[in-house]
Amino acid sequence: MVAALVLPALLILLGVVVPLGLLGAPDHAHLLAVLRFPLTRLTLLAVCFLCLVHAAHRFRYTLQDGLKLTRFDGAIATVCYSAALLGSAAAAYLLFVSL
């Protein structure tokens, strides 16, 4: 999935390269200006959504295959994907309402 490609790149850039000083850290005003651009917000929301759905999908199949809970397939799928949708709604609220 796309989340498996995008998230590691973001983590390497923001979690390793910037703290080591290989890339200059952006100041607060610059980050705020970037976050106020609607396309940036949509991109961040898409990354959050894809990561949450990816995690829900992996957790669902871990419960089904690893713990042999296949008889609860409908309930597990509903809970996992509803949690991903709720997390995405929270991310949308934080990105579009609180900023």
CA 77, 92, 5, 17: dihedral to nearest 10 degrees? -140
Mean pLDDT of 61-72: 93
- Residue 1: predicted pLDDT: 66
Is the confidence at residue 99, as pLDDT, over 80?
no
| Amino acid type, 20 | L
List the chain domain ranges.
27-96
Token readout for 41 is 């917000």
Tell me the pTM: 0.82
CA angle 11, 15, 18 (to 5 degrees): 120
Identify the sign of the CA torsion 65, 6, 83, 77. Answer: negative
pLDDT tens, residue by residue, 78-88: 999 999 999 99
